[in-house]
Amino acid sequence: MIRSEPAPPASRRVRASAASPTAPAPTTGITIYDCGEDEAAAFRAAAPRLGVVPTITAAALSEETIGLAAGSRCVSIGHKHRVSNATLLALSRAGVRYVSTRSVGCNHVDVGYAEAVGITVETVPYSPDSVADYTLMLMLMTLRHVTSVIKRAEAHDYRLHELRGRELRDLTVGVIGTGRIGGAVVERLRGFGCRTLAHDTRPTTAADYVTLDQLIEESDVVTLHTPLTPETRHLLDRRRIERMKRGAVVVNTGRGPLIETEALVTALEDGRLGGAALDVLEGEEGIFYADCGDRPIENRLLLRLHRLPNAIVTPHTAYFTDHALADTVERSLGNCLAFLAGGRRG
């Protein structure tokens, strides 16, 4: 069953909200973890206006850094590091009752365990345009063989590519998951004049909704925008990849494990698929967001993808815009303040 990204299964008890905070007390303390320099600057600018006294650190939330949250009932975390259950238990014992994760997904937190130890976890919706724009860019780059074109130009080889590119208006694009991000992708595709198919258990936008199998079989481009759940892990598995049109293209800006990567790479190497553009990847943890130039990369599937002329890999960066940053900072603080003002929300 496929759900759009703002609506994870109820069993996970995660709420995504963008509440406007009630007028906060001037001494509200919130600890903010995993904060880059530009994020820190944005938090420092927003905090006084909202009446927040922030404790900001570049360190990830862990058992070693929980002391920074002393006196805070709310913390804000990034999505780049997994939070262990031991850390959640220690956080609860330190008096923290609310975690705002600055992401639309929460695969890095065991939400059920957090609830069991008395901690509410909420996600933060940010500009869907950031990911939707990036998704369209990846589609176009893949259809026009941009990886090979750029590599040739860098080697001063300015000959035309052996294969001509394809135009979106001549193709069928299948969008899996039509929540805020998938719906924004559908809106953008209308301007290209292509046929658009969609699949979601809860249709939310004007689109031609079909079964997942029909979408897989008829689409020239398949793009994924559904959350990662036990039901959607390896949604594009070997069987479905084998049923895709020969020469089809896959784009993934959702979550890496939505695709059975081994099967995808094999299909690309065999020439059965025409290309793939992946902003997320199985096993990206410890690789993406790090400079790996001085150490070997253990993820052999990533290395195989890098060798392919028809594959694009980017390091989980679709969300990375100034607008999305502003949304994330404001809403993370706002959600913390709303929780403190009214406790658990529906």
Residues 333 and 241 in one domain: no
* Residue 160 sits in the same domain as residue 271: yes
Domain CATH number, residue 277: 3.40.50.720
Tell me whether residue 2 is in a domain: no
Is the pLDDT assigned to residue 133 strictly greater than 70?
yes
Q: Same structural domain for residues 187 and 101?
A: no
Residue 20 has pLDDT above 70, yes or no: no
Report CA 321 to chain centroid distance, whole Å.
13
pLDDT of residue 107: 87
Whether the Cβ atoms of residue 60 and residue 80 lie closer than 8 Å to each other: yes
CA distance 224 to 232: 11
In a domain, 1, yes or no: no
Closest among 149, 243, 252, 140 to 194, alpha carbons compared: 140
CA distance 60 to 87: 11
Within-domain flag for 280: yes
d(CA 178, CA 48): 37
> Where would I find the H helices in the chain?
37-50, 85-93, 111-116, 128-143, 146-154, 180-190, 212-218, 238-243, 261-270, 300-307, 322-342
Q: Is residue 51 assigned to a domain? A: yes
225 assigned to active site = no
In terms of domains, do 113 and 154 share one?
A: no
pLDDT(57) > 70: yes
Identify the three-state secondary structure at position 83.
coil
Q: Active site residue: 97, 102, 255, 331, which one? A: 255
Domains identified in the chain, total number? 2
Mean pLDDT computed over 242-266: 97
Q: Does residue 3 fall inside a structural domain?
A: no
pLDDT at 5: 40
CA-angle at 45, arms to 344 and 329, nearest 5°:
40
The answer to whether residue 260 is catalytic is no
**Is 301 in the same domain as 165?**
yes
Is there a domain that residue 80 lies in? yes
pLDDT in tens, 268-308: 999 999 999 999 999 999 999 999 999 999 999 999 999 99
pLDDT at 343: 52
pLDDT of amino acid 204: 85
- For residues 296 and 253, state if they share a domain: yes
| Cα(175)–Cα(233) distance, integer angstroms | 17
What pLDDT does residue 23 have?
46
73 and 146 both lie in a single domain: no
Q: At what angle do helices 180-190 and 128-143 cross, to 10 degrees?
A: 50
For 154-165, write each residue's pLDDT tens digit.
Answer: 999 999 988 999
Please tell me whether residues 298 and 211 are part of one structural domain: yes
Q: How far is CA 144 from CA 12, 147, 162, 220, in A?
A: 40, 9, 11, 14
Do residues 299 and 227 share a domain?
yes
pTM of the model: 0.88
| Segment 38-65 mean pLDDT | 96
- pLDDT, tens only, 322-334: 999 999 999 999 9
Residue 238: give the domain boundaries.
Answer: 128-313
* Residue at 155 is within a domain: yes
Rounded-to-integer distance, Cα 318 and Cα 274, Å = 22
Residue type for position 241? I
Same domain, 205 and 273: yes
- Residue type for 255, please? R
Residue with tokens 């209308």, as numbered in its chain: 190
233 and 149 housed in the same domain: yes
Give catalytic status of residue 73 as yes or no: no
Interatomic CA distance for residues 10 and 115, integer angstroms: 13
The answer to whether residue 25 sits within a structural domain is yes
Residues 150 and 298 in one domain: yes
CA distance 42 to 20: 18
pLDDT in tens, 189-227: 999 999 999 999 888 888 999 999 999 999 999 999 999
Residue 258 Rama label (left phi>0; alpha psi -120 to 50; beta): alpha
